[in-house]
Structure 1
């Protein structure tokens, strides 16, 4: 089935309350996004109680990221093959079970296994949920509004992780950052079968096992390579070896897909120029966004001396702006078009990041941080919604799970690359300033200034790509 089909060919899953169903799907997406950041604040306490060293603690994050990023394409294709609703429910049930297992963990091995299972489950949930959204809202205007809700909820999850992680860890212990997923996930499992009564038509044929194995290996190696850079640096042989492995599996994957009559990822899907552009922009935006949230949280705590709770509260204006804009941008897209809205959002994001780069080591929040973070929230809100719409528009119903997997994979790969590259740039700049005799706080601030400027460059490159990319 061609990815260039203008509208879903299968009847959408029936739901008498589509907007309620959307809120439940968005709740599941919120859990997945939240889980990528909420654990960070709990790591010190968790490590002390489970006797985990720094290297082992890094794997608490890496185990989730590797499984999630590496299996997203396979998860999307499984949803197309076996039913979006079915795979979504299986993934949600797995995520709830893995979260409970993580909360009950008494050893590091048990926790790491649970985190990997969380990542596997999330890789099923994310593309299936986005596919269900596109089929629940076949009308272009309604779909744009729905994606606005989707983007706003995802933004809340990114920013809320720091705040909720600090509050839950301080009041209920590190286990609570995992247990909080259980009742919320249970609501999703109960509500979705009632709101979405059946699946749409499934893709026929066999699952491309060779393609699934090779692309998963390539993505895991790629995410692992850039995750390793954060731990050991660019000069260590491990990232280079993993990059070579990723390249080798990627070449094999392309060769397999060219010869397979029923490929996991039909390469013709990239003839859809909107889909290709949406993924390129999401790759760049994911790189800028993940590096930003990492640096902003560290800057507020390590340089400005904020507590985790105050850090979370300080990021609420950014999250609020993101949510409000995500709700407004669908109207802007309806009037001006998705590409102008996306380009404008990326330029606003770049402007906010450059402004933030001028924040000093003794910045006052109201006068020197509030403005740029609000501007960043506005840019991110518009960019996430518009890029996601480009990535799923014009895709056949039988390939909507694939489209969801692609756009989520682009964001995850972009995040891994952005954090590794821009984090290294910040570290090198900090070291250079310290060698020149700068105070530690000033040196760290100077390093993060380069990171923010680098993220702004990525956003600007995305805006240029939108302007010059050929239209469908």
Structure 2
């Protein structure tokens, strides 16, 4: 079993599935003209992806634990490939929406399984931390590269290639995964029966919660639909909780979240979703509306930072993990994220903002995200037993997308509330949200670092005696 090849397969899959979330940001105006839709309607191409991705993540993690990591990874990757190909050939908006939903569901199957494959391929704690940092960094680089590649591909190749580009790479991933990843014997497979209905209930709860989050900014217009969704969600949540308490094989083991590091890691992952996705949204608006850059020019501006983030992932992140350990690595990355958000705010005030924008990009997409995401991921998973890594990965990724959904919804709401007709001033109140989330995250991580330092001191003192 070639461990490095397996890691490469998992990292390539997560890179393209993360890329697909951000790649459409620069392509939405093109799709709006292509299908003759208004901006609110075309935005649902992003929303439906995130809804199905977030809605099925925990179920996907559970399936990876109970039905086999390799089987679920292959299934999710195949569905992602098929949905990408179908989306590229879409000749109607409804068909493209359906393909995006299938892409989201496929990614929700593949990502927790891929993360579980990585953690089980590298059982040694030190090797596992390095592998998880590499895997998470690829996810961060994929998310950060989406804006750059989306604008370039849509301008020079056509919007269809934002989907077709996935096909040959995921096909290669499928072939290599089939040949290289060994068969696994899921520990809970024999006792997984009876969890299907609970899985459906949980998926409905998360889907409706995601929907309510994403339509928060339009609450006055759709309040009856939102209230109905909340009522159904609470009813499903009650049934799920009731069945979980009675089950001898719960779908979500609450003991997974009794560990302090896991709670801190997932909390910061939730906040990170709001910081990064909110930043990318405000950045794309600022570049196109305030600096009047076309999608291609914006992509060209962003591309060097995507390349730089790859170098950070390859050369800097491993050194930080070796010297600082996960929690201090996460603090370093989060401080860079905070600095980048503040620099974007500075760019909104000065007459020649390009230098501040470039420094902001260097801090966030060029380095910060590639450092902080591996840190909080390792923090979330480092104390989870191997046979529960799938469900834990699903919870961690769900936290990220819940944070992203909440962040985008509140940013949209703030943009509406502070709309004055001057675009630069409109963005500043919305930028407060990622800044506050970054400050809170730094505080949580510093507190976790203090606890780790105290524990290390106690262990050191005992060893002396």
What is the TM-score normalised by the length of structure 2? 0.89
Deviation at 1:340, TM superposition (A): 2.3
1:341 paired residue number: 329
- The worse-fitting range, judged by mean Cα deviation, of 390-399 and 105-114 is 105-114
| Kept in 2: contact 1:168–1:174 (CA 8 A) | yes
CA deviation profile, 1:226-254 (whole Å, cap 9, x unmatched): 21134x25674144543454444334433
Q: Distance in 2 between matches of 1:77 and 1:269?
A: 13
| Kept in 2: contact 1:163–1:312 (CA 8 A) | yes
| Structure 2 residue corresponding to 1:277, chosen from 261, 264, 273 | 264
| Structure 1 residue corresponding to 2:348, chosen from 360, 370, 395 | 360
CA deviation profile, 1:200-238 (whole Å, cap 9, x unmatched): 5442312412321221111101111121134x2567414
The DSSP-based 3-state class of the residue aligned with 1:358 is helix
| Structure 2 residue corresponding to 1:149, chosen from 134, 147, 157 | 134
| Structure 2 residue corresponding to 1:219, chosen from 192, 206, 209 | 206
Q: Distance in 2 between matches of 1:324 and 1:363?
A: 32
Matched, 1:369 2:357: yes
CA deviation profile, 1:259-316 (whole Å, cap 9, x unmatched): 2111111111111222222111100001111100011011100110011122122223
| Structure 2 residue corresponding to 1:390, chosen from 349, 373, 379 | 379
Matched, 1:415 2:401: no
Q: Distance in 1 between matches of 2:384 and 2:227?
A: 36
Q: Distance in 1 between matches of 2:145 and 2:238?
A: 39
| Structure 2 residue corresponding to 1:286, chosen from 250, 265, 273 | 273
CA deviation profile, 1:150-175 (whole Å, cap 9, x unmatched): 23322222222223222222233222
- The worse-fitting range, judged by mean Cα deviation, of 310-319 and 117-126 is 310-319
Alpha-carbon distance change, 213 to 241 in structure 1, aligned in 2, over 3 angstroms: same
| Kept in 1: contact 2:59–2:203 (CA 8 A) | yes
2:460 paired residue number: none
| Structure 1 residue corresponding to 2:98, chosen from 108, 113, 132 | 113
Matched, 1:306 2:285: no
Alpha-carbon distance change, 110 to 74 in structure 1, aligned in 2, over 3 angstroms: same
Q: Distance in 2 between matches of 1:40 and 1:332?
A: 31
The DSSP-based 3-state class of the residue aligned with 2:249 is coil
What is the TM-score normalised by the length of structure 1? 0.88
1:184 paired residue number: 169
2:459 paired residue number: none
The DSSP-based 3-state class of the residue aligned with 1:39 is coil
CA deviation profile, 1:418-450 (whole Å, cap 9, x unmatched): 111133223323x2xx2xxxxx4xx32223222
| Kept in 2: contact 1:233–1:424 (CA 8 A) | no
1:79 paired residue number: 64
Q: Distance in 2 between matches of 1:116 and 1:282?
A: 23
Q: Distance in 1 between matches of 2:238 and 2:301?
A: 45
Q: Distance in 1 between matches of 2:332 and 2:25?
A: 32
Q: Distance in 2 between matches of 1:283 and 1:363?
A: 34
| Kept in 2: contact 1:326–1:381 (CA 8 A) | yes
| Structure 2 residue corresponding to 1:193, chosen from 162, 173, 178 | 178
| Structure 2 residue corresponding to 1:206, chosen from 169, 192, 196 | 192
| Kept in 2: contact 1:257–1:266 (CA 8 A) | no
Q: Distance in 2 between matches of 1:163 and 1:143?
A: 31
2:237 paired residue number: 250
| Kept in 2: contact 1:317–1:373 (CA 8 A) | no
Q: Distance in 2 between matches of 1:358 and 1:62?
A: 30
- The worse-fitting range, judged by mean Cα deviation, of 199-208 and 44-53 is 44-53
| Kept in 2: contact 1:82–1:202 (CA 8 A) | no
Alpha-carbon distance change, 200 to 322 in structure 1, aligned in 2, over 3 angstroms: farther
| Structure 1 residue corresponding to 2:143, chosen from 153, 158, 166 | 158
Q: Distance in 2 between matches of 1:307 and 1:49?
A: 17
1:448 paired residue number: 427
Alpha-carbon distance change, 287 to 55 in structure 1, aligned in 2, over 3 angstroms: closer
Q: Distance in 2 between matches of 1:105 and 1:20?
A: 34
The DSSP-based 3-state class of the residue aligned with 1:450 is helix
Q: Distance in 2 between matches of 1:246 and 1:458?
A: 27
CA deviation profile, 1:314-336 (whole Å, cap 9, x unmatched): 22354345434444233323333
Q: Distance in 2 between matches of 1:320 and 1:343?
A: 23
Q: Distance in 1 between matches of 2:75 and 2:206?
A: 23
Q: Distance in 2 between matches of 1:247 and 1:289?
A: 29
| Kept in 2: contact 1:38–1:164 (CA 8 A) | yes
Q: Distance in 2 between matches of 1:307 and 1:245?
A: 43
| Structure 1 residue corresponding to 2:441, chosen from 462, 465, 472 | 462
